Amino acid sequence: MTHEAAAAIAESPSDGARVLDDAPAIEARAISKRYEDGTRRREVVSEVSLVVPRGALWVLRGPSGSGKTTLLGLLGAMITPTSGEVLVCGEALSRLRDHHRTRARRRLVGFVFQELALVPGMTLTENVLLPLVPSGGATAAQRAHAAALLERFGLSAFAETRIERLSGGERQRGAVARALVNEPPVLLLDEPTAHLDAARVIDVVAMLAALRDEGRTIVATTHDPRLAESAAVDRVLDLADGRVVAG
């Protein structure tokens, strides 16, 4: 290791993860994911390798069952690969023990699920601040940051509104705000334009482009051409049967 490379290693205070400043945002090395159902084995993702540079907006495209959601989960350390490894900002998250991986993920990756995974019964602000609870709750600065995120996404008026009273678009922007509350360098979104009308899709693409332009790395899955074919997208990877077939 060169002196410069060693100097670029930053020791995380809590999770022990080493972050290389000059490493790519995401690197997948021959990752596979197999599920076993009794005697039946099903490989959902097969030997995928890719490198996502920092500050890029990538899209994983493919039909239902192509493995794009599983691949996104593997890239975000939501799912443990059966083989291969995933590095986020230079740190091999898939090799870390569960609690170290969780802490590293909390710091490095924001994740927006297709179902949004907001907690019903809680207000929008409570949902956005939820990732901060294990660290003792939000500080004043974090609350201000959350409020700023809600304002940025046009949700200030709904800050104290319960999730179930929000529209689909409002919920989705709320989910993005929650994913960003820890200010992670990587944002992963699963089908962010599903069930949105054309106008909303344009808003989402603009939002993703703006976040990318701020230096965040964004990877989204979609089978929606309105997102995949947008000029804002830097690269599209086509998936079929758990493999990258084009892009």
Partner 1 sequence: MKRQRALAAYALGALVRRRGRSVAVAAGLAFVVALFASVLFLGDALRAEVEAGARYVPDLSVQRVVAGRPALLSTDITTSVRRIPGVRSVQARVWGYLYVPPISANVTVIGASGREALVHATLVDGRAMRAGERDACVLGAVLADALGVRAGDEIALSSDVGGASSRTFVLRVVGTFRDGSALRTADLLVTSDANARALLGVAEGFATDLAVTLTTPDEARVATEKIARLVPGARVIDKLLLRRSYALTLDGRGGLLTAMLLPALAALLLLAWDRLTGLSEAERREIGVLKAIGWEVSDVLSARIWESLIVAFVGAAVGVLAAYAYVFLAEAPGLAGALYGWSALYPPLRLTPQVDAAQTLALVVGVALPFVAVGLVPAWRAATLDPDRALRGGA
Residue 131 in the binding site for partner 1 (CB under 8 A): yes
**Nearest distance, CB of residue 217 and partner 1, angstroms:** 18
Round to whole Å and give the CA distance between 211 and 140: 24
Does 194 sit near partner 1 (CB under 8 A)? no
Amino acid type, 173: R
Contacts from 94-101 at CB under 8 Å and sequence distance 24+?
Answer: 94/31, 96/15, 96/16, 96/17, 99/15, 100/15, 100/16, 100/17, 101/77
Instruction: In whole angstroms, give the CA distance from residue 244 to residue 66.
Output: 9
Q: Which of 173, 178, 212, 216 binds partner 1 (CB under 8 A)?
A: 178
Rg value, the chain, Cα: 18
- Per-residue binding string, partner 1, 36-75, x by CB under 8 A, is ----------------------------------x--x--
- Contact call for residue 97 and partner 1 (CB under 8 A): no
In the list 16, 63, 65, 137, the residue contacting partner 1 (rule: CB under 8 A) is 137
Contact between residue 158 and residue 166 where contact means Cβ atoms under 8 Å apart: yes
Q: Which residue has the tokens 């601040």?
A: 129
Task: Establish if 167 lies at the interface with partner 1 (CB under 8 A).
Answer: no
Q: Does residue 16 belong to the site contacting partner 1 (CB under 8 A)?
A: no
Cβ-based neighbours of 6, under 8 Å, separated by 6 or more: none
Query: Looking at 8, 43, 182, 236, which residue binds partner 1 (CB under 8 A)?
Result: 182
CA atoms of 218 and 60, how far apart (whole Å)? 11
Question: Looking at 49, 83, 135, 156, which residue binds partner 1 (CB under 8 A)?
Answer: 135
Q: Would you count residue 113 as binding partner 1 (CB under 8 A)? A: yes
Could you tell me the smallest distance in angstroms from the CB atom of residue 124 to partner 1?
A: 14
Q: Name which position in 5, 119, 157, 245 contacts partner 1 (CB under 8 A).
A: 119
Tell me if 122 contacts partner 1 by CB under 8 A: yes
